[in-house]
Chains A and B, each alone.
Chain A
Amino acid sequence: MNKALSTSAWVAVAVLGAGAVGVVAVRRGEPINALWLVVAATCCYALGYRFYSSFIAAKILALDSRRATPAERLENGRDFVVTNKWVVFGHHFAAIAGPGPLVGPVLAAQFGYLPGTLWVLAGAVFAGCVQDFVILLFSVRRDGKSLTEMAKEEIGVIGGVVAYAAVVAILIILLAVVALVIVNALKDSPWGTFTIAMTIPIALLMGLYLRRIRPGKVLEVSALGFILVLLAIWGGQWASLNPVVAPVFTLRAQTLAILIIIYAFAASAVPVWLLLAPRDYLSTFVKLGTIGLLGIGIVALHPTLHMPALTRFVDGSGPIFAGKIFPFAFITIACGAISGFHSLISSGTTPKLIARETQTRMVGYGAMMCESAVAVMAIIAACSLQPGVYFAINSPAGLVGQTATAATSTISGWGFSVTAADMQHLARAVGEQTLFNRTGGAPAFAVGMASIFSQSLGGETLMALWYHFAVMFEALFILTVLDAGTRVARFMIQDALGHIYKPLGRTSWYPSILATSALIVAAWGYFLWQGVKDPLGGINSLWPLFGIANQLLATVALCVATTIIIKMHRTRYAAVTLVPLLWLVAVTFTASWQKILDRNPRIGFLAQARVLAEGPATTATARLIFNNRLDAAVTAVLVVMVALVLIESVRQWIGVLSGREESRVKESPFVMTRLAEDLR
């Protein structure tokens, strides 16, 4: 009876999901309600988790709850700690959820809501969740080893070196692109800039409070910090209206870029407890609360999606970034569908906390599903805007025109009606001087989120506060990524340099700290500066570069996973990681090819350099030509490195399958658990 009931329930979920996906995919010409996306996503995740992840767990990974995990065998109260599965789940989700699933889907909405939604759902269920799950389990079976170490052991030295280089490259490009997003959100915005500037003394105050007044009371100080941040948002309005203060915080993009570079260098060099840790706590506190609030808001208010399912820009002529749906939608949305970066977290802290192998399914597969749900929320927030408004915010002035009239005329000419008066009214409602040319995705997401919330809470009178809350929330996220990413990259460089000259590897030696911090900040700062000076807004070049780098890391992770699956004699099921791997190879290699060699100067870096060289020479021409050639070279180097890993992996697979090479996985030996049944 129970089985019949359960079967009927799952059939109902499948029918409902198919119906909702059908509505999302087929409906044309009239706006649809956001609830269709919510229902489609919920049903897809439920079915994926219940059936696909359990198939992987049983048939491929053979999860064994009797096998002691590293958290139990190596428990030391520091890195290895047996932890409740829900706690590990929350911890893992907090680590994987950053600004990526909010920004990427907003940018990809230029194609309409359909391509992004389908990729987020299918990509997460069949690729992203699978990657996070299998890498987590393989790391658990190898004493919590990192992806780089596993790549070295299972594929060979080339795998390890490429994984390492890819991580450093991704960090540099990631930091540049997120810094550019924040610059574009804050330029000429005294309210936003004041609020974000205030988070620095707030974080310092929190650091001192934790260190001197209430040691260890992080939740308490985070709640206090949150209240201060809310006051800073409120104070931002005053600052933006004050004739003396407002000009101080009204900054151009170049000035903001310089300030962010200086800030990141300082944050990387000062003690962690003073700035980085409290900001991280504050950001996590705001992040978890806001994501929850946004989810509730979308379900309760279920806005209408005004963006069509497909826009005219599927032909590759999009104003936000150039290129067709294939491959560019699939590299623009990484976090939310599949992100190589997650494999670093699945082989970082999380495997050292897992109490039971069987919990890797919920933590690895389940947390990625939640991240994917955040991406669906971002799609809803962006697509609930009127398309004309969406394009006016996200299109660079170099493309649509420098004045409000020129921009609205260009955008209306595309068939997305918008007027200068509409934009002026909206800008005033959110407390900004203008919303034109705010590329990067964050402002569009903030306007969408503010519009959704203001429908029920406070109406237009509170819209400005909601908008600046959303900007603050994203900027806080991004500054945390900048702080932490710069430091992580610094440690990686120090580790490598330590092999050449030992003192350089010492993370407490100040000459090394300053030199490596400067090196990392200079590297991403260069790309940031390039983006700020780019007449097409920078996002057009940098976001695809970041997407390619991130997806190439996912390619490395899936190579490692497929190699291990073949070595485990589960070749008949290798398609589970091999198909996503082949898809990513197709996507990233095509995108790289087009970004380097496409004849359209808006797509190909070299074509853009050629056009600049043939055009009228200005003071900036030589630098722009060099930047385009540099971007082409970086893309080429990344692709060649990953091609090497791919070749090395295929060589391993052929060797193992033909019996020429020994099929031995490098797992830790089986040890029977001693933990009680309820922890299994």
Chain B
Amino acid sequence: MRQSGMSRFAKAVRIVLATLREIFDEAAYERFLSRTRTPSSIKAYAAFREEFEEARTRRPKCC
């Protein structure tokens, strides 16, 4: 079935938001919460950053 213009637009917006959430590590934080089965909190975010930071900062960023 062909998608309507509106649903195509909604899908595009969803993808843009998902992309931004991935780039900005929000998605990674959510995966961390779901993997460790903890609710979001200051403590959980600190634990996430601790686990995530070394791997993240090893990523090269291009010139």
Which A positions have Cβ atoms within 8 angstroms of B? 77-79, 81, 83-84, 86-87, 89-91, 94-100, 174, 178, 210-212, 215-219, 222, 271-273, 276-277, 280-281, 284-285, 288, 334-335, 339, 341-342, 344-345, 348-349, 480-481, 484-485, 487-488, 491, 507, 546, 550
With a cutoff of 8 Å between Cβ atoms, the chain B residues found around residue A277 in the complex are 25, 49, 53, 56
Given contacts A87-B18, A212-B42, A216-B48, contact A344 B24 (CB under 8 A): no
Checking B26, B51, B53 against A78 with a beta-carbon cut-off of 8 angstroms, the contacting residue is: B51
With a cutoff of 8 Å between Cβ atoms, the chain A residues found around residue B15 in the complex are 84, 86-87
Summarize A's interface: helix, strand, loop or mixed.
Answer: helix
CB A384 to nearest CB in B, in angstroms, measures 24
Checking B19, B49, B61 against A98 with a beta-carbon cut-off of 8 angstroms, the contacting residue is: B61
Q: Are A94 and B23 in contact (CB under 8 A)?
A: yes
**Residues of chain B in range 1-47 having any CB-CB distance to chain A below 8 Å:** 15, 18-32, 34-35, 40-42, 44-46
Q: Are B63 and A341 in contact (CB under 8 A)?
A: yes
User: What is the CA–CA distance of A211 and B47 in the complex, to the nearest angstrom?
Assistant: 11
CB A412 to nearest CB in B, in angstroms, measures 34
With a cutoff of 8 Å between Cβ atoms, the chain B residues found around residue A341 in the complex are 60, 62-63
Q: Are B24 and A491 in contact (CB under 8 A)?
A: no
CB A98 to nearest CB in B, in angstroms, measures 5
With a cutoff of 8 Å between Cβ atoms, the chain B residues found around residue A487 in the complex are 57
User: What is the CA–CA distance of A64 and B58 in the complex, to the nearest angstrom?
Assistant: 30
* Chain B minimum-CB-distance residue to A216: B29
With a cutoff of 8 Å between Cβ atoms, the chain B residues found around residue A546 in the complex are 63
Checking A174, A216, A488 against B40 with a beta-carbon cut-off of 8 angstroms, the contacting residue is: A216
CB A268 to nearest CB in B, in angstroms, measures 10
Checking A90, A97, A348 against B60 with a beta-carbon cut-off of 8 angstroms, the contacting residue is: A348
Q: Are A99 and B41 in contact (CB under 8 A)?
A: no
CB B52 to nearest CB in A, in angstroms, measures 8
Given contacts A78-B55, A273-B49, A487-B57, contact A100 B62 (CB under 8 A): yes
Given contacts A99-B63, A217-B26, A218-B26, contact A211 B42 (CB under 8 A): yes
Given contacts A86-B15, A90-B23, A210-B45, contact A97 B54 (CB under 8 A): no
Q: Are B56 and A219 in contact (CB under 8 A)?
A: no
Q: Are B58 and A488 in contact (CB under 8 A)?
A: yes
Given contacts A87-B18, A217-B26, A218-B24, contact A491 B57 (CB under 8 A): yes
Q: Are A339 and B21 in contact (CB under 8 A)?
A: no
With a cutoff of 8 Å between Cβ atoms, the chain B residues found around residue A481 in the complex are 61, 63
Which of B15, B30, B35, B49 is the most central at the interface, judged by chain A CB atoms within 10 Å of its CB?
A: B49
Given contacts A211-B45, A215-B44, A507-B54, contact A178 B63 (CB under 8 A): yes
Q: Are A95 and B63 in contact (CB under 8 A)?
A: no
With a cutoff of 8 Å between Cβ atoms, the chain B residues found around residue A89 in the complex are 19
With a cutoff of 8 Å between Cβ atoms, the chain B residues found around residue A97 in the complex are 62
Q: How many B residues touch A, CB cutoff 8 Å? A: 39
Compute the total of residue contacts between A and B using a CB distance below 8 Å: 132
User: What is the CA–CA distance of A258 and B24 in the complex, to the nearest angstrom?
Assistant: 31
With a cutoff of 8 Å between Cβ atoms, the chain A residues found around residue B40 in the complex are 215-216
Q: Are B61 and A95 in contact (CB under 8 A)?
A: yes
CB B7 to nearest CB in A, in angstroms, measures 15
* Chain B minimum-CB-distance residue to A178: B63
With a cutoff of 8 Å between Cβ atoms, the chain A residues found around residue B49 in the complex are 211, 272-273, 277
Q: Are B22 and A90 in contact (CB under 8 A)?
A: yes
Q: Are B58 and A84 in contact (CB under 8 A)?
A: no
With a cutoff of 8 Å between Cβ atoms, the chain A residues found around residue B23 in the complex are 90-91, 94, 284, 288
Further contacts, 14 of them, CB under 8 A, given A86-B18, A90-B23, A95-B61: A78-B51, A83-B22, A87-B27, A95-B59, A211-B49, A217-B26, A218-B25, A219-B21, A281-B24, A288-B23, A334-B63, A348-B59, A507-B54, A550-B63
Given contacts A77-B35, A87-B18, A215-B42, contact A349 B62 (CB under 8 A): no
* Chain A minimum-CB-distance residue to B41: A215
Q: Are A273 and B20 in contact (CB under 8 A)?
A: no
Checking A77, A86, A342, A507 against B32 with a beta-carbon cut-off of 8 angstroms, the contacting residue is: A77
With a cutoff of 8 Å between Cβ atoms, the chain B residues found around residue A342 in the complex are 62
* Chain A minimum-CB-distance residue to B15: A86
With a cutoff of 8 Å between Cβ atoms, the chain A residues found around residue B59 in the complex are 95, 345, 348-349, 484, 488
Q: Are A87 and B44 in contact (CB under 8 A)?
A: no
7 A-B pairs whose Cβ atoms sit less than 8 Å apart in the complex? A90-B22, A98-B63, A216-B30, A272-B53, A277-B56, A341-B63, A484-B57
* Chain B minimum-CB-distance residue to A285: B24
Given contacts A84-B18, A87-B15, A219-B21, contact A272 B57 (CB under 8 A): yes
With a cutoff of 8 Å between Cβ atoms, the chain B residues found around residue A99 in the complex are 63
Q: Are B45 and A91 in contact (CB under 8 A)?
A: no
Q: Are B24 and A219 in contact (CB under 8 A)?
A: yes
User: What is the CA–CA distance of A481 and B25 in the complex, to the nearest angstrom?
Assistant: 18
Given contacts A87-B22, A218-B24, A485-B61, contact A81 B31 (CB under 8 A): yes
User: What is the CA–CA distance of A281 and B25 in the complex, to the nearest angstrom?
Assistant: 9
User: What is the CA–CA distance of A481 and B24 in the complex, to the nearest angstrom?
Assistant: 16
CB A178 to nearest CB in B, in angstroms, measures 7
* Chain A minimum-CB-distance residue to B26: A218
User: What is the CA–CA distance of A550 and B55 in the complex, to the nearest angstrom?
Assistant: 24
Q: Are A219 and B26 in contact (CB under 8 A)?
A: yes
User: What is the CA–CA distance of A56 and B1 in the complex, to the nearest angstrom?
Assistant: 32
With a cutoff of 8 Å between Cβ atoms, the chain A residues found around residue B30 in the complex are 216
With a cutoff of 8 Å between Cβ atoms, the chain B residues found around residue A84 in the complex are 15, 18
Checking A91, A178, A216, A276 against B26 with a beta-carbon cut-off of 8 angstroms, the contacting residue is: A216
